[in-house]
Amino acid sequence: MRKIIDAHIHLSERKNDILIPYARINGLEYTLEELLRLMEQQGVAKGLLLSPPLQSGVPLPNEEVIDLCRKSNLKLLPILTAEPETGAIRAAIKLAQENRENIRGFKIRLGYVNAYATDPIFDKLYDFAEVEHLPVLFHTGDTATSNGSLSHSHPLTLDALANKREALTIVLCHFGNPWFQDAAELIYKHQNVFADISGLITGVGRYPEKYMGWVTERINEAIYYAGGTDKVIFGTDYPVSRYSDVLQLVERLDISEEDRENILWRNASEVFRL
């Protein structure tokens, strides 16, 4: 069985988690027990856990993410969400310091918060992340809610940050969907920018097979443009996408087996020190 690292997972034990409808669409229970079972079945060695959004508009508290990771016996490792508020930034850094052995990065919810990646409110977070060699993940592209701000979540908004902070490891979540070519330009241009393939397939739509073909071709084109798979990271966005669908996407890519291994685990292992 192939080794896999899932670099983008959501989970909570809250009834007001807005990803629950996605779980129902995909026929998933959306529980820790199910997630660990699926990871075992698919050969997923490690998963990175991110806060899902709640109905109130805020993310699941980072403390609950850390608690779920402990319950998983560290099969899951935390990515801490950092909201654009001085207190929230300070609290995220403090949690990262207190849990230094397990924290694997930070997440900024571009498109869900009224801030760009270059907002000075994040400077202290970036300073800390650079010193600690922790990646910062950014939501890019389409949002799970109809009131998200696409002008804030467009992948090209990360160009200025990457220009300014070459020591900061940046991960574009969802490959900038639907702006795949723009994300491809960023990972080609910047040595410190990566992109994950999470959340691209939700199991909905009238033309699922044709959509799978379209996404596959866009990722193929991005890989060819960027010159390889060294910047592409596997992620499901569980429960938004099923393992079977994302693995099918990887299998359909017109790339070598070595490049598939890069996507499935090798790149994440290096970026997140796993």
State how far the Cα of 121 lies from the Cα of 31, in Å rounded to an integer: 34
Given a contact cutoff of 8 angstroms between Cβ atoms, the answer to whether 69 and 40 are in contact is: no
pLDDT at 141 over 80: yes
Residue 137: partners with Cβ closer than 8 Å, 6 or more residues away: 8, 50, 79, 105, 106, 107, 108, 171, 173, 196
> What is the structure's pLDDT at 235?
98
In tens, the pLDDT along 219-231 reads 999 999 999 999 9
Quote the distance between the C-alpha of residue 21 and its chain's center. Answer: 19
State how far the Cα of 237 lies from the Cα of 200, in Å rounded to an integer: 9
- What does the block give as tokens for 69? 């990771």
Band (144; pLDDT cuts 50, 70, 90): confident
Q: Which domain holds residue 235?
A: 4-271
* 166: nearest Cα among 198, 195, 191: 191
Residue 92's domain is classified under what CATH number?
3.20.20.140
Question: What is the pTM for the complete model shown?
Answer: 0.96
- What does the block give as tokens for 121? 């409110």
Question: For the stretch 148-160, what's the b/e string if a residue is b when 16 or more beta carbons lie within 10 angstroms of its beta carbon?
Answer: beeebbbbebbbe
Please compute the mean of the pLDDT values over residues 100-116 and round it to a whole number.
Answer: 97
If you compute the radius of gyration of the chain from its CA atoms, what whole number of angstroms results? Answer: 17
Handedness of CA 180, 108, 17, 235 (dihedral sign): positive
pLDDT, averaged across the chain: 96
State how far the Cα of 115 lies from the Cα of 111, in Å rounded to an integer: 8
* 11: nearest Cα among 71, 74, 60, 70: 60
**Phi and psi angles of residue 236, each rounded to the nearest 5 degrees, phi first:** -100, -35
Please compute the mean of the pLDDT values over residues 1-17 and round it to a whole number.
Answer: 94
In tens, the pLDDT along 32-78 reads 999 999 999 999 999 999 999 999 999 999 999 999 999 999 999 99
In tens, the pLDDT along 170-221 reads 999 999 999 999 999 999 999 999 999 999 998 667 888 899 999 999 999 9
Domain count for the chain: 1
Band (145; pLDDT cuts 50, 70, 90): confident
> What is the structure's pLDDT at 226?
97
